[in-house]
Amino acid sequence: MEAESRAHLAAIAALSQALDDAGVDHWLFGGWAVDFWVGQQTRPHDDVDLAAWRRDFARIKVALEAAGWRHTPMPDDVIGTRYVLGAVLVEFTFVESGPAGEVVVPLPDQPVVWSTEPFGDVRREFGAVSARVIPLDVLRAGKAVPREDASDAAKDRADAATLERVVE
């Protein structure tokens, strides 16, 4: 495994530990979640994607900054924010609970239901690192329709093909 991937895994471990210690619910999604579901790295990653409750923004900031993470928000952050540890970028997407318990991405113009069921507390392991991940069916649904950008679409297609082989 290359040095960048080892740095990402170490950052995921540190991130999980800091947020678990603070009692903050959080879930890996995106490419690293695929890798945690299959137990091995399937492709290179530019960042770590994490979902968390919007209401926990302040607790996340305190926990991560105490653990050495640097908050690096973007001027156009609408539904999330970013943190950096060393050379590893984590991008948060904040979610809210809908009236029927669904998980909602609170876009300003039109909230989007990400999952009709709560994300739960499934943990998966990748080597010695344990992390909470979004449910497999939610991850599969998110990868089923490739994004518009050609590079992102290629990742989504590769991830979808990988997830077809996963058995819970």
pLDDT tens digits, one per residue of 44-73: 999 999 999 999 999 999 999 999 999 999
- Classify residue 61 as exposed, middle or buried by CB count within 10 Å of its CB (0-12, 13-18, 19+): middle
One-letter amino acid identity for 142? Answer: G
pLDDT (tens digit, 9 = 90+) per residue, 9-47? 999 999 999 999 999 999 999 999 999 999 999 999 999
CATH class name, domain 3-164: alpha beta
Q: How far is CA 82 from the centre of its chain?
A: 12
Give the β-pairing of 48-53 and 88-97: parallel
Name the band, by pLDDT with cuts 50, 70 and 90, for residue 1: low
pTM of the model: 0.94
Q: How many CB atoms lie within 10 A of CB 91?
A: 17
| The pLDDT value given to residue 167 | 81
Name the band, by pLDDT with cuts 50, 70 and 90, for residue 76: confident
For the segment 101-123, the average pLDDT, to the nearest whole number, is 94
